Amino acid sequence: MKRSNIIRALWKRNKGLSLKETEIIILSVFDKMASSLKKGDRIELRGFGVFESKTKVGFLARNPRTNEQVNVASSRSIRFKLGKNLFNQINKL
């Protein structure tokens, strides 16, 4: 599903809002989620799931061909864990 599909689906359910207003709402929600994850905050959407930002620690690796040591920088990744309701809907329990 694309972002535009989400905007149109929400707009169809809420005819009191214009399409542009609906787009602004969705974009502001996504922006807030992104900024929270950048700060390292956890986003919990009950029944849907949890988004967490995890930091991978940097380390010293070795190139097997040249035996040269390479510094691998630390990085961040996003982890998503399904909520119980969504899990049950997907697996039809």
The CATH topology of domain 41-93 is HU Protein; Chain A (4.10.520)
3-state secondary structure the chain: CCHHHHHHHHHHHCCCCCHHHHHHHHHHHHHHHHHHHHHCCCEEECCCEEEEEEEECCEEEECCCCCCEEEECCEEEEEEEECHHHHHHHHCC
Q: 83 φ, ψ to 5°?
A: -80, 160
- What are the tens digits of pLDDT across the range 54-90? 999 999 999 999 999 999 999 999 999 999 999 999 9
pLDDT of residue 15: 87
> Is the whole-model pTM more than 0.85?
no
pLDDT of residue 93: 65
Give the 3-state secondary structure of residue 28.
helix
pLDDT of residue 9: 94
How confident is residue 3, by pLDDT bands cut at 50, 70 and 90?
very high
Share of the chain above pLDDT 70, in %: 99
- What are the tens digits of pLDDT across the range 14-64? 989 999 999 999 999 999 999 999 999 999 999 899 999 999 999 999 999
Domain ranges in the chain are 1-39, 41-93
